Amino acid sequence: MPASPDPPRRAGRRLDRSRDAAILTATLEILAEVGYEATTVDAVAARAHTVRATVYRRWPTKADLVVAAVGQLGATDTVTAGTPDTGTLRGDLLASIIPMTADEQQLRIDVMTAVADAGRTEPKIAALSVNAGLDPWVQASKSLFRRAIDRGEFPPGDIDTLASVIPTMCVYRIAVDRLPVTRAFVITLVDDVVLPALRGRSDGHPHSHPSLPGDPS
């Protein structure tokens, strides 16, 4: 006998994303307060005024949840900063600095410290979380660098590397030095590191470097 056709599958209910922001905010707060190991999905759900099933439906593991929360923090900061157009790369980079209260700075210090500490036992989680926090800022920096090159302010260069300098140094200052990212700190990076590196390519080509032991011939 021919097999009877399978009954049609019911369409899954669309995931309601209205609770996402509250859940990710609760994750950051608890992560900052107690660290990665002591952060639990139950605690996050309680603070976000939801149930653990709602959290797990969006993020299958605690690690997924933390990575999403750290990524959202970076994304929110870049949206707040926007993509300023002052006419110069220096002006654009400085206009991207977000004024933060002491509490906002401390939250970021505590979150990134918790992520760095997690790396002692779960390096993959720490790396993913840090990268999630960095990527929005790196992409925003690339946009500013490309625009500066397109308008002829600087010759073409390795913007992939240079776009990572300021975000990476800011994360290092927060997670390792456990210090706030001040305007003066960012100005130093812009004036003493990034802009000189771009200006150093005055001929439009990368400088040659002497070979080091082990370099391919």
pLDDT digits (tens, 9 = 90+) for 166-200: 999 998 998 889 899 999 999 999 999 999 998 87
pLDDT band, residue 206 (cuts 50/70/90): very low
DSSP 100: -
**Is the pLDDT at 44 greater than 70, yes or no?**
yes
pTM attached to this predicted model: 0.73
**Is the pLDDT at 154 greater than 70, yes or no?**
yes
pLDDT digits (tens, 9 = 90+) for 49-67: 999 999 999 999 999 999 9
- Which spans in the chain are helix H? 20-38, 41-47, 52-58, 62-81, 89-95, 102-118, 123-150, 159-175, 183-189, 195-199
Average pLDDT (195-209) is 61
**Is the pLDDT at 120 greater than 60, yes or no?**
yes
More confident residue, 210 or 106: 106
Report the Cα–Cα distance between both ends of the chain, in Å, rounded.
71
* Angle made by CA atoms 50, 36, 128, in degrees to the nearest 5: 100
Contact 25, 34 (CB under 8 A): no
Taking all residues of the chain, what is their mean pLDDT, rounded to a whole number? 84
Amino acid at 44: V
pLDDT band, residue 127 (cuts 50/70/90): confident
- What is residue 15's predicted lDDT score, i.e. its pLDDT? 64
Average pLDDT (130-157) is 90
| Nearest residue to 48 via CA among 33, 27, 34, 32 | 27
- What is residue 122's predicted lDDT score, i.e. its pLDDT? 82
Instruction: For residues 95 and 80, give the distance between their C-alpha atoms in angstroms, rounded to a whole number.
Output: 11
- What is residue 18's predicted lDDT score, i.e. its pLDDT? 75
**Is the pLDDT at 8 greater than 60, yes or no?**
no
pLDDT band, residue 43 (cuts 50/70/90): very high
Instruction: For residues 55 and 41, give the distance between their C-alpha atoms in angstroms, rounded to a whole number.
Output: 7
- What is residue 2's predicted lDDT score, i.e. its pLDDT? 41
209, with CB counted inside 10 A (0-12, 13-18, 19+), is: exposed
More confident residue, 5 or 139: 139
169, with CB counted inside 10 A (0-12, 13-18, 19+), is: middle
Instruction: For residues 53 and 72, give the distance between their C-alpha atoms in angstroms, rounded to a whole number.
Output: 21
